[in-house]
Amino acid sequence: MTAEADAARPLDPRLHAWRPDLAAAGLRGQVDAAQFADPAPARIAAGTASVREQPRDDARQATELLYGEAVDVIERAGGWAWVQNRVDGYVGYVREAALGAPAAEPTHRVSALRSYLFDGPDLKLTPRGLLHMTSPVAVAETRDDGWSRLADTAEGPGGYLWTRHLCPLVATAHDWIATARRFLGAPYAWGGRSSTGLDCSALVQLALARAGIAAPRDSDMQAAGLGEPVEGEVEAARPGDVLCWPGHVAFMVGGQRILHANAFHMAVAQERLADFRARTLEKVGDVRAVRRPVAAGTA
């Protein structure tokens, strides 16, 4: 594609906060909008926050934000906030109640699939909330009794997490297939990004995030720009590669098997690639691309 053709393509609304009536100030000169707003920083203060395509409870979920993730708020209106996630750039509407003020810089991430947040260092207390893998947190104190106390926020005391459920912010789990397998049996949920419900591209994104690899949010974005393209298509794929169909992605895991979140099993499942092809070839078509994730420092 030529530079001229690329420049003429409309901006993807999933990744650019733009509407005819309002746009983020950083888009001045790129889009026409009646007004431009300087984004205000915020963070997700709930375990998960559903991101809707429109500011309505009956609107389709586009993605999900996790506790501690930083967002830029372009608009607050009618109990909704129009935000852009700093993790992957995704834009959408969340309930304003899910937002908190910016807090201390994170020091750790949740490394367990999920972990309860307590008001005190006592597992017999009623949990305050549930945090999920990759959620960033600021640890104020690592205690000798197995608990970590989180830094206080503008909303109140930070709470306590089990230390073994955390890892330093810079720590990575390089075997992303092993990470993805931890989600086996997790329910399929369109737009979900946690072990309580996730979709195919979220499984890829979360597993790679634990390996220190940033991945786009949606399957078409991953097919176009994740890692490096693999020449030779499926025949050249190796374990750890991402197979891309129109609207779907899956990890190649060896033995001609794939691991993916899918709506046939309504869960994260592992199955033979041949079985998936037989079930979907007529409706979806065959693999369109194979992408090889590249860990930092290995390119």
Structure confidence at residue 295 as a pLDDT band (50, 70, 90): confident
Structure confidence at residue 10 as a pLDDT band (50, 70, 90): confident
Residue reference for tokens 């098997």: 257
What's the confidence (pLDDT) of residue 63? 98
Phi, psi of 65 (to 5 degrees): -105, 150
Contact of 51 with 61, CB cutoff 8 Å: yes
pLDDT exceeds 70 at position 296: no
Asked if domains 3-100 and 176-292 share a fold, the reply is no
Contact of 34 with 88, CB cutoff 8 Å: no
Task: State the Cα–Cα distance between residues 266 and 151, nearest whole angstrom.
Answer: 37
pLDDT exceeds 80 at position 145: yes
Indicate the pTM of the whole model. Answer: 0.94
What's the confidence (pLDDT) of residue 170? 95
What is the residue extent of each domain of the chain?
3-100, 108-168, 176-292
pLDDT exceeds 70 at position 3: no
C-alpha R_g of the chain = 20
pLDDT tens digits along 182-204: 999 999 999 999 999 999 999 99
Q: CATH fold of 176-292, please?
A: endopeptidase fold (from Nostoc punctiforme) (3.90.1720)
Task: State the Cα–Cα distance between residues 31 and 26, nearest whole angstrom.
Answer: 10
Let me know if domain 108-168 sits in CATH 2.130.10.10. Answer: no
Task: State the Cα–Cα distance between residues 82 and 94, nearest whole angstrom.
Answer: 7
Q: Which amino acid is at 140?
A: A
Structure confidence at residue 108 as a pLDDT band (50, 70, 90): very high
Burial category of 233 from C-beta neighbours within 10 Å (exposed 0-12, middle 13-18, buried 19 and up): middle
Sheet containing strand 136-137, edge to edge, reads 136-137, 108-110, 166-168
Mean pLDDT of 262-285: 96
Half-sphere exposure of residue 211, counting CA atoms within 13 Å on the CB side?
A: 24
Which 3 state secondary structure label does DSSP give 241? coil
What's the confidence (pLDDT) of residue 233? 82
Contact of 250 with 243, CB cutoff 8 Å: yes
Structure confidence at residue 8 as a pLDDT band (50, 70, 90): low
List CB contacts of 96: < 8 A, sequence separation 6 or more: 76, 79, 80, 81
What's the confidence (pLDDT) of residue 5? 44
Phi, psi of 93 (to 5 degrees): -110, 130
pLDDT exceeds 70 at position 7: no
List CB contacts of 76: < 8 A, sequence separation 6 or more: 82, 96
pLDDT tens digits along 164-178: 999 999 999 999 999
Q: CATH fold of 3-100, please?
A: SH3 type barrels. (2.30.30)
Which tokens sit at 260?
């993916």
Q: What is the mean pLDDT of the chain?
A: 95
